[in-house]
Structure 1
Amino acid sequence: MSRRVVITGMGAVTPLGTGVEKFWEGIKANKLGISFIDMFDTERTGVKIAGIVRDFNEEDYYDAEGCFTKKEAKHMDTFTKYAVIASHEALTDAATDFSDLDPYRIGVLVGSGIGGVDLTLSEYSKFLQKGPSRVSAFYIPMMISNMA
């Protein structure tokens, strides 16, 4: 049995830019999204390069309809914020409020192999410096990849 899939909107948060338009312009301009890692010391790592999202300011999305509040953002890892913002852009791009559709037949597809790397590093640092009682109770729910 074949099923129809219709993509009505797109969203993107990428190393080439936040938003489908910036992403596409970057592709057309043959820009690289890969750069040297400068967020932490890579001297003892085998990897020195990564695709880093650089033009992201989460405050631009506080209280935006369909995104998140400042309070909600405190309980989200960066990768989850990226997913919410890209999803919001896709829904906006679809140019509909979906009120005429069955909500059980609508979805957003997110691809994520791993999540919460930033959070894992910061919580591990807390664990080492201040002990296990200082690790956030939200650590696991915030870092698992299906949170996106």
Structure 2
Amino acid sequence: MVSASSIFLFRQFFRTLPKDLEDAARIDGCSEPMIWLRVIMPLSGPVVTVVALFQFQGSWNAFVWPLVMSSSERLYTISVGMYSLAYGSGSLTSMAELFQSVLLAGSVMAVLPILFLFIAFQRQFVQGIALTGLK
């Protein structure tokens, strides 16, 4: 998926790269695709990590699109499943009060993958955010 914020982050990151790197690669005989492959892409690791985490989080937390597109309860995402458990008949049911512990456990399960990914890629994430904000 493509989002405007991802394009903006990439644009801001690429604007911070010095043109001297591209010029030095051209002097060394690199073509334009080789400059992208051997100079720019290796430096793009932090911003790629940030965009990948943002896209995963957006897909993981998606509510409306899976609700509209899934025809079976078996295909529901965690957020849609928790919503259908709490508001199955259109209003808060007495069953939701009974399943409050299940809803809270589902909330924890919905947050854990994002939390683990952030912890695993924290250095690249912070570095990517810091680099896209510099001029």
TM-score, normalized by length of structure 2? 0.29
* Higher relative helix content: 2
* Higher relative strand content: 1
TM-score, normalized by length of structure 1? 0.27
Pick 1 or 2: higher relative contact order, CA cutoff 8 A, min separation 6.
2
